[in-house]
């Protein structure tokens, strides 16, 4: 498949305006790899947590296990944050840290969730939180506690409470769905009888940009996930595709074919101030802002085959970034700006790679052969991407060191086009 055909495929979609309630099926998580140097953590069941809609300690356990960074030691007991605890005893059981907590129902119907993280090696308290939440947000509360544990024990911010968006297909229906990072709490944002592709989160996590083919040509829309309102961002002559937000959320980079060949443009988030950034005789597409917003990475065939280039955010000369292999597409920059992820075709296989932008070292992260649409977690420690096996799509997640891996699947249909949302404020 040529790069132009792949670009046009990404631009073909149509959708309705309504946002539905829960989707028909949640995603299933299948863990296939774990990280190196796992931190042993003892996790007790929270006192009185059976009164909550979800079991808080189980959600925390699943989050930490899925990350691959922790070895979970089941305490086999219930321990609250006020329990008398012998930390030397837990240290002798091989735990470097202990998690305890409790749940109480407040008079206004909310649930008060309290937790403590204890260091068994130093016999000290590492963290404590008290979070009150409405019943429908108890899962989010558990994710926030897992985020706190991850940050306190690894030094990196946790991303369990972020959201993901992706496209599912069941029969003749395509759905753009939004879910928690673990695949739970799914909501349908868009439905269509036509393919839905290329969603992109706004930096504040309240909007998704996408491309619709409902007007018999690809048009870029921005949809507010809170108000459900959508507006046309780019409906110019020719193909309008590949939206990507700037880090400040004020503008987007897009790929437009206004004069036959697809080129990179920038446009304000309200659709004003369109500026052409590339001017070549080839195809320039899939633009992505750098983490600091000063540069744009994009795919171009100006060297004969598709490779990834970098230019200033206001255009100008571009420098080639990828040199290994003859076919490199779909650039994505880690939020911390350190890694470039992309899909490379080698020996007929489309696989996920990352490039360390400081030292130029490249690493293959996937062992599947039909990968697409990489997207970094907000903490830059994981990558989600689409993969295909047996003509059925699924989502895969891998840590940037390639060790921890898990897959998100559905019982029916397939999943495509993932995009991992930002930290929520």
pTM summary value: 0.92
CA distance readout (Å), 205 to 6, 225, 273, 297, 377: 27, 9, 23, 22, 13
> From CA 44, how far away is CA 402, in angstroms rounded?
30
* DSSP conformation class of 313: T
pLDDT score for 359 = 96
Give backbone dihedrals phi and psi of 216, rounded to 5 degrees, phi first. 70, 10
Q: What is the pLDDT of residue 7?
A: 42
Dist CA 53 CA 50 (whole Å): 8
Domains of the chain and any CATH numbers? 3-25+163-420 (2.120.10.30), 37-154 (3.40.50.10070)
One digit per residue, the tens of pLDDT, for the chain of length 425 reads: 444 434 443 333 233 333 333 344 567 777 877 766 899 999 999 999 999 999 999 999 999 999 999 999 989 999 999 999 999 999 999 999 999 999 999 999 999 999 999 999 999 999 999 999 999 999 999 999 999 999 999 999 999 999 999 988 888 888 889 999 999 999 998 888 887 789 999 999 999 999 888 888 888 999 999 999 999 999 999 999 999 999 999 999 999 998 879 999 999 999 999 999 999 999 999 999 999 999 999 999 999 999 999 999 999 999 999 999 999 999 999 999 999 999 999 999 999 999 999 999 999 999 999 999 999 999 999 999 999 877 788 999 999 999 999 998 877 678 999 999 999 87
Tell me the two tokens of residue 145. Answer: 């506690």
Beta bridge partners of 119: 97, 124
Q: For position 226, what pLDDT does the model report?
A: 92
Largest CA distance in the chain: 73
Cα(70)–Cα(135) distance, rounded to whole angstroms? 28
The number of CA neighbours under 13 Å toward the Cβ of 223 is: 23
Among 16, 123, 125, 34, smallest CA distance to 72 is for: 34
Contact between 414 and 168 under an 8 Å Cβ cutoff? The reply is yes
- Coil, strand or helix: which one is 123? coil
Read off φ and ψ for residue 205, nearest 5 degrees.
Answer: 75, 15
């Amino acid at each position: 498949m040529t790069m132009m055909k792949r670009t046009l495929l990404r631009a073909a979609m149509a959708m309705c305006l309504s946002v539905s309630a829960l989707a028909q099926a949640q995603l299933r998580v299948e863990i296939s790899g774990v990280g190196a140097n796992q931190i042993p953590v003892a996790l007790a069941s929270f006192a009185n947590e059976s009164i909550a809609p979800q079991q808080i300690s189980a959600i925390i356990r699943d989050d930490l296990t899925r990350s691959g960074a922790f070895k979970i030691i089941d305490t086999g007991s219930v321990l609250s944050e006020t329990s008398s605890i012998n930390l030397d005893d837990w240290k002798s059981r091989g735990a470097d840290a202990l998690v305890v907590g409790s749940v109480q129902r407040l008079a206004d119907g909310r649930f008060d969730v309290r937790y403590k993280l204890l260091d068994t090696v130093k016999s000290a308290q590492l963290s404590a939180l008290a979070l009150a939440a409405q019943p429908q947000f108890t899962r989010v509360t558990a994710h926030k506690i897992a985020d706190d544990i991850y940050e306190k024990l690894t030094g990196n911010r946790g991303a369990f409470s972020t959201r993901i968006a992706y496209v599912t297909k069941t029969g003749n229906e395509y759905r753009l769905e939004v879910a928690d990072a673990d695949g739970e709490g799914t909501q349908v944002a868009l439905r269509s009888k036509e393919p839905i592709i290329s969603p992109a989160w706004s930096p504040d996590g309240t909007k998704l940009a996408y491309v619709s083919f409902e007007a018999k040509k690809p048009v870029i829309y921005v949809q507010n996930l809170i108000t459900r309102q959508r507006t046309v961002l780019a409906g110019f002559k020719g193909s309008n595709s590949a939206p990507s937000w700037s880090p400040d959320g004020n503008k987007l980079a897009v790929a437009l074919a206004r004069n036959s060949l697809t080129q990179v443009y920038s446009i304000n988030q309200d659709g004003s101030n369109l500026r052409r950034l590339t001017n070549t005789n080839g195809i320039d597409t899939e633009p992505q802002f750098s983490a600091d917003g000063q540069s744009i990475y994009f795919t171009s065939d100006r060297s004969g085959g598709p490779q990834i280039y970098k230019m200033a955010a206001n255009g100008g000369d571009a420098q080639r970034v990828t040199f290994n292999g003859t076919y490199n597409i779909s650039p994505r920059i880690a939020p911390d700006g350190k890694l470039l992820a992309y899909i490379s075709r080698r020996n007929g296989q489309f696989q996920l790679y990352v490039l360390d932008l400081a030292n130029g070292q490249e690493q293959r992260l996937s062992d599947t052969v039909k990968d697409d649409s990489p997207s970094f977690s907000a903490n830059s420690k994981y990558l989600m991407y689409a993969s295909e096996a047996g003509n059925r799509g699924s989502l895969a997640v891998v840590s940037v060191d390639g060790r921890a891996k898990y897959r998100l699947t559905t019982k029916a249909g397939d999943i495509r086009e993932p995009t991992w949302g930002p930290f929520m404020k």
